Amino acid sequence: MHRKILAICSALVALGAFAMVPAMASAVTLKHGATTLATGTKITALNEEHALFVAGGTTVTCNENWMTGTVHANTGGTGANSLMGTISAASFNNAGGKDCTSGLGEVKVKIPTLEAGKHWCISNTKTADEWQLQGGACTGAVEQLKFVLTFTSILGAEVTCEYGSEESKPVTGSFTTGTAPATLKVEKEPPFIRLNANGLCPETGKITKMAFNLYTDNLNKEGLTITNP
């Protein structure tokens, strides 16, 4: 009986230890049909849903959004950064290239950290089906993600609010596998802090909704797939 009790206890300890191990990523590969995309291949991400940024009691809504860049790594490995993309440009607008909207009027979105040859880097993490987006190039140091909101209808004058990711923390989210186009969705409502001193701007904000689908960077805009065998 004593041995049986010890065996049961050992099994419970082993199960508990297993439960504490985080989900590890399987091998992920970005493909166009059956073809694995080579390093340097251009890709485009188009919004799958409206993008929402909430600061104070104001919600900024953008419904026509895109990002473009190139494949930086696509090794088919199981570790973090086995799938990486360099983002060289991004745009957040409403249909027809019009400004985004809010309860305070129209809002122009500008991304200074993608100007003058600067980049963002998006990559898979150690956790299964999870990605992260950080400021800076994939080959460089991590930088703060920044964007500028210019409200054009407040008290008849423009008000500019600049926001940045907290402590240069990356934005994280989930990605779908096995279907085309693959969808990347922002999770956990990443927080941002006010960077300029304008007291009319709320001190903090967060992305509450954002998702993109991955496509080829051509006129046909064919869906790309992330495989996870």
CB < 8 Å & 24+ apart, contacts of 15-21: none
Q: Is the peptide bond before 181 cis (omega within 30 degrees of 0)?
A: yes
- What digits encode the pLDDT tens for the residues 127-145? 999 999 999 999 989 999 9
- Give the residue with greater pLDDT, 204 vs 23: 204
Please write the tens of the pLDDT for every residue from 14-64: 333 333 344 455 799 999 999 999 999 999 999 999 999 999 999 999 999
Round the average pLDDT of the chain to a whole number and report it: 88
In whole angstroms, give the CA distance from residue 164 to residue 134. 11
214 or 24, greater pLDDT:
214
* Rounded Cα distance, 104 and 158, in Å: 11
Domain ranges of the chain: 24-227
* 142: Cβ contacts below 8 Å, ≥ 6 apart: 134, 135, 136, 168, 170
What pLDDT does 154 receive?
59
Which pLDDT score is estimated for 20? Answer: 37
Give me the pLDDT at residue 3, please.
Answer: 44
Residue 88 pLDDT greater than 50, yes or no: yes
Q: What's the mean pLDDT in 8-14? A: 35
More confident residue, 25 or 105: 105
Among residues of the chain, what percentage have pLDDT more than 90? 77
